[in-house]
């Protein structure tokens, strides 16, 4: 993995977070330290026993408390979650400032822009803290032009076809 890059996986297709996780596994296999911070993911990967076995090379954090979709929360609970999200962003700043990792993944951080929790300027300020040798990967559905121009690598993941997987025991509907 090249050092000090900003990479984005965006689009309406499935696979943005798994692509970022693949990069995390590659970095860890090369002896690098990885931090993943998940946003807007409900329960996300926090409970994954597999990822816990990858520590200390890959560390996973989720600051939100609710397992429900952000847009379905009451206004009061949304405000609580916004504070939790901001705690996660502050942690990302700390990680970048201290050089705690070689790869920082901000999973679904672009969704914070879509939900007006942060602005493009807020995200730019976080990225400006990044040390030269640290790579940052951001994921999310929508990609703002202001953020796109900051990236060294942008991948758009689109859904071209969707077919429900079936096991041999499933019957056609």
Helix (H) or strand (E) segment spanning residue 47: none
Answer whether residue 42 shows pLDDT above 60.
yes
In this predicted model, what pLDDT tens digit does every residue of 76-126 receive, in sequence order? 998 999 999 999 999 999 999 999 999 999 999 999 999 999 999 999 999
Q: Which residues of 80-103 are buried (b: 16+ CB within 10 A; e: fewer)?
A: ebbeebeebbeebeebbeeeebbb
In a domain, 106, yes or no: yes
Instruction: Decide if 53 is inside a domain.
Output: yes
Answer yes or no: is 38 within a domain. Answer: yes
Contacts of 89 (CB under 8 A, 6+ apart): 112, 118, 122, 126
Give the domain extent around 124.
Answer: 6-156
Average pLDDT over residues 144-169: 84
Output the average pLDDT for the chain.
88
> Domains in the chain: how many in total?
1
- Does the pLDDT of residue 4 top 90, yes or no? no
**Residue 110, domain member (yes or no):** yes
CA pseudo-torsion sign 34, 35, 39, 44:
positive
Asked if residue 41 is part of any domain, the answer here is yes
Q: Is the peptide bond before 136 cis (omega within 30 degrees of 0)?
A: no
In a domain, 146, yes or no: yes
CATH, residue 98: 3.40.50.300
173 in a domain, yes or no? no
Question: Does residue 167 sit within a domain?
Answer: no
């Amino acid at each position: 993995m090249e050092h000090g890059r900003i990479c984005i996986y965006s689009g309406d297709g499935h696979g943005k977070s798994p692509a970022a996780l693949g990069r995390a596994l590659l970095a860890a296999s090369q002896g690098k330290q990885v931090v993943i911070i998940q946003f807007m993911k409900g329960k996300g990967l926090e409970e994954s026993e597999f990822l816990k076995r990858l520590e200390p090379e890959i560390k996973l954090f989720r600051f939100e408390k609710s397992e429900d979709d952000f847009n379905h929360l009451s206004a009061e609970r949304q405000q609580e979650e916004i504070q939790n999200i901001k705690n996660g962003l502050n942690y990302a700043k700390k990680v970048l400032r201290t050089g705690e990792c070689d790869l920082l993944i901000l999973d679904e951080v672009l969704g914070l822009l879509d939900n007006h929790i942060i602005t493009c300027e807020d995200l730019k300020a976080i990225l400006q803290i990044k040390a030269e040798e640290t790579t940052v990967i951001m994921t999310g559905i929508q990609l703002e032009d202001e953020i796109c121009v900051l990236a060294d690598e942008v991948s758009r993941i689109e859904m071209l076809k969707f077919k429900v997987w079936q096991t041999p025991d499933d019957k056609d509907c």
